[in-house]
Amino acid sequence: MKNLELAAQFDRIASLLEVLSESPFKIRAYRRIARTLLELPEPIEDVAREGRLREIPGVGDAIAGKIEEYLSTGRIGLLERLKQQIPEGVLELMAIPGIGARTARLLYEQLGVASLAELEAAARAGRIRQLKGMGQRSEAAILEGIQQWHRQAGLHPMPYVLGPAEALAAAVQKLPGVARVDLAGAVRRAEEMAEQAELVVAAADVAGATGAIRVQLGAEALLQPGPWPGTLRVSGPVAGGVTAEVLVVPPEAYAAALFFRTGPARHVEQVSERLADRGWRWEGLRLVSSLEPEREGASVRDPSRAPASEPDMYRLAGLPWIPPELRWGEDEVERAARGELPPRLVEVSDIVGDLHTHTVASDGVATPEEMVEGARASGLRYLAVTDHSPSLTIARGLTVERLRAHRQHLRALSERTGFPLLTGAEVDIRPDGTLDYPDDVLASLDWVVASIHSHFRLDEAAQTRRLLAACEHPAVKVLGHPTGRLLGRREGYPVDLEAVLDRAAETGTAVEINASPDRLDLSARWARRARALGVRIVVSTDAHSPAQLGFLRYGVLTARHAGLAPDDLLNTRPLEELIQSVKPHR
DNA sequence: GCCGTTTTCGGCCCGACTGTTTTCAGTCG
């Protein structure tokens, strides 16, 4: 399936055209097809083979030709020509906040800067402030942006690693001689950022299986000895600029290897300390009893054993199995020993309704009808349609008049299809804390998500006041993406979240775990805090298309990392119960 | 670039903020 790589090609074309100041509409056409390809539910090769390319919205003669060109030759001539005009490294510069296409071009043409390293050198040498339209503040902002970039370098938002990791695991599972495969590392723990896709594989013939995996990973794959005798490690690039690292071990070493590779280090230490207390020490991937065999009674106990499974190993440490999402390396081992872990973490199938979605009425790409169809196909039992409010002009936020018509349309649709729809809005919280619709309009809606989309640079006191005011408003059911962060790209706005969560608890306002792969907002840490404070929590996708309803799993993984059980979330409940349990209009 | 109950050309989402300016270009959402 070439959808992802083709999308990346079109994105690069769009960016290069942007640097060259081409028509914004042409650029948008390439961006659009890139986005469409990411969400296309079938391989683009199949669509091309069946002559259906032109049926894809946004594909005309020119783009259809380029898709076919790429599928047959592996290249797009236009992109090759553009790269001769502007080195691709110039596109790196646009990862720094404040540097857009025009500034990137200026930096390249005036200073010859074509990489982040060269940009940093130019900024340190004070050469950027000499450019027209740039000054000392711009130069300082660029240096700060580069520092920020370095801190994030090599890290990807977890959802962008999870997909390639699972695809690789599925492919590896089919290879001859492979007995078992699991994800490990930060992705298995549902951390929000991950460096790479880590897999652990069990195979009786370690060398043979490793060879097959190396072939699977392609020409650039690198084979190395593993960290334990008799194990091998192979790493190489997978989709989306992500690197995979696969550890291959003999079947009897699998459980221990999976435990070590899942980590984090502090958790492994804590469990190993408890094993030591019970007379076990690690010798490679085997546990060896340090107790005298005769004190155990003759031939009762094998002095050396490999744990048969992770639960078996935790049992030897006197612990229940600790789900990987709860392995923070903090107090989870103590809590497990005291029997304080949640009996069951929430699962995707527990979520019965999505409470934050968009349609073509604002900036979504699907009609309400298509969203309902998608929701049904995903097994949801209700949906809140929450298009944007008017001040978010770029998203075609709905005026009061358009909202009224939209609401009628949704109600009719719900009646016609028998699918329960909450007619709602994602309403902007203005800088002064007031909301972007009049109170009577808000009161007429079934579901109001209040979010901040503008004025990110107000100070902490002002941002906190905005969110506190939103909590106080009787119509606001939930705070959307409460910190406003974009993973790896933008810190959240400054806010006293503790105070906001306190007020949310007092007023019965829920907070959202926004499942968008670029947000995961609230974070697991804050979601855990929200639960401790008694705040109601929902997991929502913020879907702008039916395919994005599938983001739900990222939100659920974050909820699991936060230790949330089904009962901790509002949208695990049937619609009637949800309505009764949210804060009433006052 | 695409698209058409506006149908083969002329539209296609816009407004605010920032740093550099002295009237604005570039970036961002």
pLDDT per residue as tens, chain A (586 positions): 888 889 999 999 999 999 998 988 999 999 999 988 988 888 999 999 999 999 998 999 999 999 999 999 999 999 999 999 999 999 999 988 889 999 999 999 999 999 999 999 999 999 999 998 898 889 999 998 898 888 888 899 999 999 999 999 999 999 999 999 999 999 999 999 999 999 999 999 999 999 999 999 988 899 999 999 999 999 999 987 899 999 999 999 999 999 999 999 999 999 999 999 999 999 999 999 877 655 555 455 567 888 999 999 999 999 999 999 999 999 999 999 999 999 999 999 999 999 999 999 998 888 999 999 999 999 999 999 999 999 888 888 999 989 999 999 999 999 999 999 999 999 999 988 999 999 999 999 999 999 999 888 888 898 999 999 999 999 999 999 999 998 888 888 889 999 999 999 999 999 999 999 999 999 999 999 999 999 999 999 999 999 999 999 999 999 999 999 999 999 999 999 998 888 765 4
Nucleotide nearest to A65 (CA to C1'): B1
Nucleotide nearest to A94 (CA to C1'): B27
**How far is A474 from A466, CA to CA, in rounded Å?**
15
Is the CB of residue A456 inside 7 Å of nucleic acid strand B?
yes
- Nearest Cα neighbor of A470 from A427, A438, A528, A526 is A427
CATH of the domain spanning A348-581, picked from 3.20.20.140, 3.40.50.300, 3.10.20.30, 1.10.3720.10: 3.20.20.140
Instruction: Give the bases of strand B that a protein CB approaches within 7 Å.
Output: 1-3, 11-21, 25-29
pLDDT of res. A491: 82
- Nearest Cα neighbor of A513 from A451, A556, A456, A449 is A556
* Region(s) of chain A under CATH 1.10.150.110: 3-152
List the A294 CA – B29 C1' distance (angstroms): 72
List the A399 CA – B9 C1' distance (angstroms): 31
* Region(s) of chain A under CATH 3.30.210.10: 265-337
CB A359 within 8 A of CB A385: yes
The DSSP-derived string for A170-218 is HHHHTSTTEEEEEEEHHHHTT-SEESSEEEEEEESSHHHHHHHHHHHH-
* Region(s) of chain A under CATH 3.20.20.140: 348-581
Is the CB of residue A225 inside 7 Å of nucleic acid strand B?
no
Domain A3-152 has CATH 2.60.120.10: no
CB A66 within 8 A of CB A72: no
CATH of the domain spanning A265-337, picked from 3.30.210.10, 3.30.70.2340, 2.60.260.20, 1.10.150.20: 3.30.210.10
CB A274 within 8 A of CB A333: yes
List the A132 CA – B21 C1' distance (angstroms): 11
- Nearest Cα neighbor of A501 from A474, A458, A475, A536 is A536
CB A26 within 8 A of CB A17: yes
* Region(s) of chain A under CATH 3.30.460.10: 156-259
Is the CB of residue A139 inside 7 Å of nucleic acid strand B?
yes
List the A105 CA – B16 C1' distance (angstroms): 24
Q: In terms of CATH architecture, what is A156-259?
A: 2-Layer Sandwich (3.30)
